[in-house]
Amino acid sequence: MAQNKMRPVDEVLRGKLEFKLAKVIAPKLTGWQLSLFVWSQGSFLFGKLIKSKLLRMNNLPQCLREIIISDAPMYQPEYPANQAPEIAVKNFLDESDPKERVAFALEHLPARQSHFQDDSPPFLYWKIRDYVEAYTTGRVTPTQVAERIIATVEEAKKRSPSLVYFISFLSEDVRKQATESTERYKKGTALSVLDGVPLAVKDDIDCLPHPSTAGTKWLPQVREVKEDAVSIARLRSCGMMMIGKAVMHELGMGTTGSNPHHGTARNPHDLGRYTGGSSSGPGAIVASGLCPVALGTDVGGSIRIPSSLCGNIGLKPTFGRITNEGLFCVGWSMESSGPIASSTEDALLVYAAMVGSHPTDKLHSWPLPPCVPDLNVGFQAIMGSLKLGKYSDWFNSTFEKEVAEVCNKSLNLIFETFGTETKEIILPELDEIKIAHLCTVGSEYVSGLAGYDTKLLKELSLEVQGTLGLFKEFTALDYLSSQKIRRRAMYFYMQAFESVDVIVTPTTGTTAPVISSAALTVGESDLTTVGNLMRFIIAPNFLGLPAISVPVGHDSRGLPIGLQLIGRPWQEATLFRVAAAFEEVCTPLRKRATTFYNILK
């Protein structure tokens, strides 16, 4: 019987807080060891014992079963009605035409200097506006860009090691879209600034004529794609060129990007390392220059982790800000889709097209009107009035010292350049939030997959089978306790936002991990590395808060490091502004990936 009782939330904030966020404890398994672990889970004699020991080693029963939590549960994010307003933003209608929203966002971007001129600024990656300049001036056509992408994808497969970017890539479909876009530019009838710009789509987002595998071998057998996801339809109406379905960690159940079925994406900054996941393909595609932007999904860092490890911008919007209609969605109370891009402005333009709810959405807190930052207003005028919140004990608890050092350096740069102050805050119960998120996502995955034939589920990779086996140990009490912790966590974060505008953390606790040779063929279970990558990730998913990862530098090995910005509910515009400011001061510290395809030249 439970003996201890969680203190009331206001009492927690008044008392002395001891920082606690334990490292995930689990063996690293691959090959026959992983096979034996999965087999043992089905064993009546050993399975229960092994799983119970793993869960107790990581404090799950102590947190969820052996303590009284008096708070009411919160099954989906619920936000307070009265929040501090955003400054220097421009609103548009949720139901307005995507092309109009993109044009509106474009109006509020600062003037750009062409990268095609002799005196152009230092070049890192081509942006959407570079594509438009190239198309409108006749330097290149969408058809020529499509042919370069097709040739590059084919060449990448033949490399050693082979570079896997897509699960489904249909050359003729890419050519068809490019031909249509080329004709529109010839006639002067381009649909928007996104017309003809290549976009890669994570393979759990429906996009015709491709199937959606979600990284599995079998999903298209039982789930037919009949139409585009709503977000894809919105982007297609703007003329974007969907070039294929990007590889991903199977079912989104991992943060490395490992996929023994379709191939594992490699990090363009170091081909011997992971991209991060589960949006592994989108992260690699953008970092390598194949596309300026890609779409990912995020239920536990799956947009932000690969963005950080690959040196990209990655936005997870507020839960409900962009509809999930047309996604293979099993983390139903936390999942969001959003852009991974090489620049903040490109992420903003694609976000403007995607944004909006759908009549089928079932939300507890309905979105506030969407808006974009007016980036024509100088950073100096706005950034000096914003306050960043930092819980130093947490911020500095990275597993690689350089990660915290680089992120702290970026905070110093933003203060020296714009006068943006960083204020110390407290965020209690981080360990409890980590455990509650794990139980919630695990329970939702088990429920979401319950209707599929067990024969199909046995075709999942050994890693995913092993993880699902652990998830099946969660009880109704565990899930209910987790939702009570969600309400407590929401209170703590909303209290922090009373005094700061944006909360800052490193995006990940480590840079890109090394890919083991065995993982390429049979996969691997490395829950400790998963935990290291997710150390700062969880609250935006669990609480539905918007969060963006922005590259702020590299470690001594040249591996990218990302800073995470967490915003108030519905305040993506503020995140875009702050991300753009960090991008400006940290661009001299960024490096282009060593594996880079110059698609426009």
Q: What is the pLDDT of residues 194-253, one digit of tens each?
A: 999 999 999 999 999 999 999 999 999 999 999 999 999 999 999 999 999 999 999 999
Distances (CA, A) of 414 to 199, 307, 372, 446, 580: 31, 21, 21, 43, 11
CB 287 within 8 A of CB 310: yes
Helix (H) / strand (E) containing 270? strand 270-274
Is the pLDDT confidence value at 427 over 80? Answer: yes
Helix (H) / strand (E) containing 454? helix 454-457
Name the percent of the chain lying above pLDDT 90: 88
**Helix/strand/coil percent split, the chain, to 5:** 40, 15, 45
pLDDT for res 120: 66
What mean pLDDT is predicted for residues 88-96?
86
CB 576 within 8 A of CB 591: no
Condensed to tens digits (0 to 9), the pLDDT of residues 301-337 reads 999 999 999 999 999 999 999 999 999 999 999 999 9
Among 302, 343, 397, 410, the active-site one is 302
Question: What is d(CA 578, CA 563) in angstroms, rounded to the nearest whole number?
Answer: 11
- Work out the pLDDT band at 463, boundaries 50, 70, 90: very high
| Six token digits for residue 255 | 């943060």
Read off the DSSP letter of residue 563.
E
Q: Identity (one letter) of the amino acid at 44?
A: F
Question: What is d(CA 171, CA 439) in angstroms, rounded to the nearest whole number?
Answer: 41
Q: Which of 368, 392, 417 is nearest to 574 (CA)?
A: 368
Q: Based on the number of CB atoms within 10 Å of its own CB, is 359 exposed (0-12), middle (13-18) or buried (19 or more)?
A: exposed
SS3 354: helix
Question: What is d(CA 540, CA 324) in angstroms, rounded to the nearest whole number?
Answer: 17
Condensed to tens digits (0 to 9), the pLDDT of residues 108-125 reads 999 988 888 766 667 899
Is the pLDDT confidence value at 415 over 60? Answer: yes
| Six token digits for residue 211 | 């199937």
Read off the DSSP letter of residue 48.
H
Q: Identity (one letter) of the amino acid at 346?
A: D
Is the pLDDT confidence value at 2 over 60? Answer: no
Is 202 one of the annotated active-site residues of the chain? Answer: yes
Is 302 one of the annotated active-site residues of the chain? Answer: yes
β-pair partners for 88: none
Supply angle C-alpha 557, 515, 242, rounded to 5. 95
Question: What is d(CA 317, CA 308) in angstroms, rounded to the nearest whole number?
Answer: 16
Question: What is d(CA 173, CA 208) in angstroms, rounded to the nearest whole number?
Answer: 10
Name the percent of the chain lying above pLDDT 70: 99
Mean pLDDT, all residues of the chain: 95
Question: What is d(CA 542, CA 549) in angstroms, rounded to the nearest whole number?
Answer: 17
- Work out the pLDDT band at 418, boundaries 50, 70, 90: very high
Is the pLDDT confidence value at 163 over 90? Answer: yes
pLDDT for res 82: 79
Residue for token digits 């600034």?
A: 193
Among 51, 202, 390, 484, the active-site one is 202
pLDDT for res 1: 47
Question: What is d(CA 111, CA 443) in angstroms, rounded to the nearest whole number?
Answer: 48
Among 212, 278, 308, 481, the active-site one is 278
Comparing 380-384, 497-501, 505-509, 532-536, the range with the smallest average pLDDT is 380-384
Comparing 38-52, 369-383, 526-540, 545-559, the range with the smallest average pLDDT is 38-52
Residue for token digits 């897509």?
A: 166
Is the pLDDT confidence value at 41 over 70? Answer: yes
Question: What is d(CA 357, CA 78) in angstroms, rounded to the nearest whole number?
Answer: 16
Q: Residue 241's Cα: distance from chain center in Å?
A: 21
pLDDT for res 119: 61
Is 35 one of the annotated active-site residues of the chain? Answer: no
Q: Which of 247, 249, 132 is nearest to 198 (CA)?
A: 132
To the question of pTM greater than 0.85 for the whole model, the response is yes
Q: Identity (one letter) of the amino acid at 166?
A: F
CA dihedral 571, 573, 578, 582 (to 10 degrees): 130
What mean pLDDT is predicted for residues 455-483?
97
Domains along the chain with CATH numbers: 90-109+123-433+480-589 (3.90.1300.10)
CB 279 within 8 A of CB 340: yes
Distances (CA, A) of 37 to 40, 169, 474: 5, 35, 18
